[in-house]
């Protein structure tokens, strides 16, 4: 039995899809569906049952879960990098995660959770996933800080070597459609091209980077769930790991790939960045992937062009979700 919290969300639902591809059907999904269209991510997936997050937490706290499980994949969190309610982020991303981790540790269940590359801040201290360097990191937003607080709590309580934390970089792919402003630039670009034939990108305010030449490590969601599956299977690996490609690419590269996949002439317009983002903007991110490779993960990652081509042609153009049938 596998529990996937946030199982109706972007990466969570993709993980359920991956488990289905591997023949796994005994899956419990935990989430909070709300009023958006996140529920559509579930329609093509195979799982046993769904529990509301609050009901699930009550059962965790009261030790009244009506089932046993082997692994919890904790993807449930507020993933908005612009969320300003610090108390909400602390309760949702720190306290909630702490209770789930304690339950899994007490009952000797495998606990795999989503950290974030947002913990690295502006990258001044690099992008190494060496746990001993965590104390030097200075996130640029409260979302990143909430993820950092949970990472540090695990380290300080001495259980980090009993769990697996995954620092996701810029993830894109099918089933992100409900995320509104937190959708990838690929999805936003696809919509912009359909509407106007052009894509708008932020100008650069750093003299070391030309407009559109800011660099990020973009990773396809199918690679992400392959990495998570690796840790589900290899139960002797623990600690925090980066999940990126290890190859930074420019926003121009990304958008040009979307235009090419749509067989449309390239037309990019550079616009002013909102003032509130300028001090929190990351100009360069690139995952150090050596630790994951040392752990035994050998599969090659999608190139940016290959990932975007699959996403655009097989999902966006066809208006499709990940489907296990």
pLDDT tens profile 215-262: 999 999 999 999 999 999 999 999 999 999 999 999 999 999 999 999
Q: What is the DSSP string of 29-90?
A: EEE--TTSSGGGGGTT---SEEEEHHHHHHHHHHT--SS--SEEEE--S---TT---HHHHI
Q: Which helix (H) or strand (E) holds 294?
A: helix 290-294
Q: How confident is the model at residue 36 (pLDDT cuts 50, 70, 90)?
A: confident
Asked if residue 91 belongs to a domain, the reply is yes
pTM of this prediction? 0.95
Q: What is the DSSP string of 143-173?
A: HHHHHHHHHHHHHHTT-GGGSEEEEE-EEE-
Asked if residue 202 belongs to a domain, the reply is no
Catalytic positions, written as ranges: 143, 179
Q: How confident is the model at residue 325 (pLDDT cuts 50, 70, 90)?
A: confident
| CATH number assigned to the domain comprising residue 72 | 3.40.50.720
Residue-range definition of the domain harbouring residue 235 = 2-173+218-245+285-301
Asked if residue 274 belongs to a domain, the reply is no
Mean pLDDT of the chain: 95
For the cut 90, the answer to whether the pLDDT of residue 279 exceeds it is no
For the cut 90, the answer to whether the pLDDT of residue 84 exceeds it is no
Asked if residue 279 belongs to a domain, the reply is no
Asked if residue 77 belongs to a domain, the reply is yes
Give the chain's length.
325
Residue with tokens 């965790």: 60
Asked if residue 8 belongs to a domain, the reply is yes
Asked if residue 57 belongs to a domain, the reply is yes
Asked if residue 148 belongs to a domain, the reply is yes
Per-residue pLDDT reduced to its tens digit, 136-193: 999 989 999 999 999 999 999 999 999 999 999 999 999 999 999 899 999 999 999 9
Measured CA to CA, the distance from residue 96 to residue 77 in angstroms comes to 9
Measured CA to CA, the distance from residue 325 to residue 321 in angstroms comes to 11
Domain total for the chain?
A: 1
Q: How confident is the model at residue 282 (pLDDT cuts 50, 70, 90)?
A: confident
Per-residue pLDDT reduced to its tens digit, 250-261: 999 999 999 999
3-state secondary structure of 265: coil
């Amino acid at each position: 039995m596998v529990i996937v919290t946030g199982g109706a969300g972007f990466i969570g639902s993709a993980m359920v899809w991956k488990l289905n591809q591997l023949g796994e059907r005994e899956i419990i999904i935990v989430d909070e569906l709300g009023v958006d269209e996140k529920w559509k991510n579930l329609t093509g997936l195979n799982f046993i049952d769904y529990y509301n997050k609050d009901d699930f937490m009550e059962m965790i706290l009261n030790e009244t879960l009506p089932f046993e499980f082997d692994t919890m994949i904790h993807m449930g969190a507020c993933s908005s990098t612009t969320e300003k309610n610090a108390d909400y982020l602390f309760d949702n991303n720190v306290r909630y995660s702490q209770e789930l981790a304690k339950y899994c540790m007490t009952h000797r269940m495998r606990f795999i959770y989503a950290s974030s590359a947002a913990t690295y801040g502006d990258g001044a201290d690099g992008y190494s996933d060496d746990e001993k360097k965590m104390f030097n990191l200075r996130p640029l937003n409260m979302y990143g800080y909430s993820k950092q607080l949970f990472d540090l709590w695990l380290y300080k309580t001495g259980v980090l070597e009993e769990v697996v934390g995954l620092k996701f970089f810029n993830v894109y792919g099918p089933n992100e459609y409900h995320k509104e402003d937190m959708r990838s630039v690929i999805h936003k670009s696809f919509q912009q091209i359909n509407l106007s034939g052009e894509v708008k990108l932020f100008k650069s305010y750093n003299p070391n980077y030309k407009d559109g030449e800011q660099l990020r490590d973009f990773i396809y969601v199918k690679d992400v769930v392959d990495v998570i599956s690796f840790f589900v299977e290899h139960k002797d690996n623990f600690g925090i790991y980066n999940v990126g490609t290890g190859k930074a690419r420019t926003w121009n590269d990304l958008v040009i790939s979307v235009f090419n996949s749509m067989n449309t002439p390239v037309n990019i317009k550079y616009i002013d960045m909102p003032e509130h983002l300028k001090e929190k903007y990351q100009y360069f991110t690139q995952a150090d992937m050596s630790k994951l490779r040392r752990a035994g993960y050998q599969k090659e990652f999608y190139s940016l062009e290959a990932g975007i081509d699959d996403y655009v042609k097989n999902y966006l153009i066809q208006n499709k979700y990940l489907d296990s049938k």
